[in-house]
């Protein structure tokens, strides 16, 4: 509930800051001088509703969508020793991190992967692929589960939804401001919206969305390092490192885009700036450095 309130308050704050900033920059005056009928306040509100509305709806239906896009089957009554062990392990980790037991599911994929999703930390889903269960040891699987449970306990789903909502708001708002400036100040169209406005808005929105994704992916990569640390604390550094090394030995199969940021592994983009996950080597190096530091601290 606290994060939902933060979600709403952030939306309001963004709208207020946008409105004040534009007045200080004199954008409304420029538009007025060119006979623009743009209502800045109304556009700020519309942008906030569109930007955060999409993120909020995606967050609310994230579990439902995840199950249908991956074919994940929630374990209600364990049928095998592995399913029973999975439930027991997640339940133990949930107690340690102080959250309610999430739903646990297995999705049919031969690739080694896992993900966590859900609207809140106490209403989450943790899923692992059949390929991961078939190819990893129990210690490694426990580390992967710990990684995903850390995502849940840290509220990463809501955090990234907030970030996505903020950048979406700016994309919607700025693309329409650029469209109005081109339509009114450059093309001198004073009657309704001309083709120049719509073309400019579409192009601006595409360009700004690409730039915005760099921001979202940056925060996603940071959250991965934190989740790796959480997995190491729950299952042991060596298990977490071993799990990452095993993941690094195979070409990962990408999860659906909506869940890629919360998987244990994902295909990187053509450029590192657009990847939701840091390189496996960097994640292993960070854990090994932390392990060395802990060893030095214990020694002293």
Residues linked to residue 192 through DSSP beta bridges, in sequence order: none
Encoded tokens for 229: 């640390």
Let me know: does 299 contact 256? Beta carbons within 8 Å.
no
**3-state DSSP helix/strand/coil percent for the chain, to nearest 5?**
70, 5, 20
* H or E, element range at 240: helix 237-248
What is the distance, to the nearest Å, from the Cα of residue 227 to the centroid of all Cα atoms in its chain? 13
Paired sense of beta strands 73-74 and 114-120, if any: unpaired
Of 148, 251, 288, 289, the active-site residue reads 148
Let me know: does 183 contact 189? Beta carbons within 8 Å.
yes
Does residue 103 carry a catalytic annotation?
Answer: no
Which residue is associated with the tokens 């053509």?
270
Which residues are identified as catalytic? Answer: 148
């Amino acid at each position: 509930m606290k994060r939902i309130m933060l979600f709403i308050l952030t939306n309001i704050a963004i709208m207020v800051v946008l409105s004040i900033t534009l007045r200080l920059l004199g954008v409304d005056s420029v538009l007025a001088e060119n006979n623009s009928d743009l209502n800045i306040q109304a556009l700020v509100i519309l942008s906030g509703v569109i930007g955060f509305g999409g993120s909020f709806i995606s967050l609310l239906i994230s579990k439902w969508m995840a199950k249908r896009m991956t074919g994940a089957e929630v374990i209600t009554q364990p049928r095998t020793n592995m399913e029973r062990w999975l439930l027991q392990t997640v339940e133990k980790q949930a107690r340690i991190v102080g959250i309610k037991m999430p739903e646990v599911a297995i999705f049919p994929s031969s690739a080694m992967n896992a993900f966590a999703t859900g609207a809140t930390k106490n209403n989450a889903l943790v899923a692992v692929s059949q390929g991961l269960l078939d190819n990893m040891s129990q210690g490694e699987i426990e580390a992967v589960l710990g990684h995903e449970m850390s995502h849940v306990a840290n509220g990463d789903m809501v955090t990234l939804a907030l970030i996505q909502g903020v950048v979406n708001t700016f994309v919607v708002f700025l693309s329409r401001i650029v469209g109005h400036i081109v339509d009114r100040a450059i093309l001198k169209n004073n009657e309704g919206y001309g083709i120049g406005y719509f073309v400019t808005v579409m192009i601006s929105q595409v360009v700004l969305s690409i730039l915005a994704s760099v921001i979202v992916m940056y925060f996603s990569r940071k959250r991965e390092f934190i989740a790796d640390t959480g997995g190491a604390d729950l299952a042991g550094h060596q298990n977490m490192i071993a799990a990452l090394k095993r993941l690094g030995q195979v070409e990962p199969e990408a999860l659906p885009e909506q869940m890629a940021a919360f998987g244990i592994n994902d295909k990187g983009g053509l450029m590192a700036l657009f990847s939701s996950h840091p390189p496996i080597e960097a994640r292993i190096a960070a854990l090994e450095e932390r392990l060395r530091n802990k060893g030095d601290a214990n020694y002293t």
